[in-house]
Amino acid sequence: MSTLYDNIGGQPAIEQVVDELHKRIATDSLLSPVFAGTDMVKQRNHLVAFLAQIFEGPKQYGGRPLDKTHAGMNLQQPHFDAIAKHLGEAMVVRGVSADDTKAALDRVTNMKGAILNK
């Protein structure tokens, strides 16, 4: 049985989705200040590894737990919603099917509590 990771297109597709997501974040007035001062190369590598793992791909994420990573950032629901919207759009632009995009966003949404530290 294929995994969500396989359906999306594996590592190359996830890298493309993250690159597209970062382009969208950079032009979003709500999100761009959150990432000011962030090493975006390092952030890209962490996010690619994290998404690969939660989409049933290789277990390669070596970063801190989500709640520790996002502690003190004061992220709120609108931040989460904006990232989810941009991630969904990035997946569609990169040719991910509607069903696989929904499944991916459902997995990200399951992590919302840790991301928002709620």
Give residues with Cβ within 8 angstroms of 8, minimum separation 6.
Answer: 14, 17, 55, 91, 96, 100, 104
**What residue ranges in the chain does DSSP mark as E strands?**
none
Q: Which pTM value belongs to this model? A: 0.93
Give residues with Cβ within 8 angstroms of 68, minimum separation 6.
Answer: none
Q: Give the domain range for residue 58.
A: 4-116
Residues 12-24 have pLDDT tens digits of: 999 999 999 999 9
| CATH number of 84's domain | 1.10.490.10
Q: What is the CA radius of gyration of the chain?
A: 13
3-state secondary structure at position 5: helix
Residues 66-117 have pLDDT tens digits of: 889 888 888 999 999 999 999 999 999 999 999 999 999 999 999 999 899 8
User: What is the number of domains present in the chain?
Assistant: 1
